[in-house]
Structure 1
Amino acid sequence: MKKIICLIFISILFYSCKEDKIEFVQSKVMNNKFLLKDAPSKDSLIKNLIKDFLLKNLIKDFLLKNPSKYKNNRSTIFYKYTADTKYFIDHLPDPGGFSSYELEDVENQRLAVFDISKCETDTTKLIGEFYYYGINYNLLQIDTLIYKCN
């Protein structure tokens, strides 16, 4: 009997310590939209996760491999993964009719935007700015991740 109780206790302890894996889910129809699944509850952790993801994946791709891929769409937007936002993994925004469903409907689920634009003082140079809105959707901070305009 003691072995069974001990085994149950260990199983409960092991199960309760299991953390969900944080995942960036890219929209299949809008390649510049990402949903953050199983995000931590602290703004600072989410911000660092997104910045690390950008630096390891998108910025390296932009700078080294294929900058022309970003010619028309230089903004990358991150949302919380919720029942409302997961619709946009497989669907484009639906602006018309009785059942319209657009990204503006889930703006309060937006976590961050990474925007690549031309410098105002020298249009031959680019700047990559990171706008972090956070869990409560109020702009908390703007960081420059790539380049800087003089």
Structure 2
Amino acid sequence: MKLNVVCLSCFFVCLAACKDNPKKIKSEQQRSDYEKTLDAMEKLQEKGLEDSAFQESKEYAKEMERTAIQASKKMNGMRENDKLLLEYETSLKILSACTSEANGHPELLKDLSFAEKLKMRTDRVREVYLKLKKTNLNPLEKRKFELLSGKK
């Protein structure tokens, strides 16, 4: 809950700060496009987890490749640290949605495909977190990372 409030606060501050700056607006549009692409990739992975025959198919491989290329294009022109922070923020949102779903329906935790999905999302957040910990971030990036991580 605290993370959601922090994210919403950051969003509104950024929105107010960039209202007259087209470059920043483009950046927000780029962020939104990337989040949608990553969400599509997550849904495709979920479908693959639920249907092993689909996961082994050429269609799955083709769709995953297409979605990965789209995600790469959406991040084109961004600095590496910005890419990592965006990836971390998006991964946290996806994990948060998954844990909220589990909190609302505890019986889901007994479902192996749901547990695998939750583990996959947790591993992704941990992976990006560790990359960011090793990255040389400027003070603004470091502050954003701390806010996203729930540190004061």
TM-score by length of 1: 0.26
Greater fraction helix:
2
Higher strand share: 1
Higher RCO (CA 8 Å, separation ≥ 6 residues): 2
Structure showing greater Rg: 1
TM-score by length of 2: 0.26
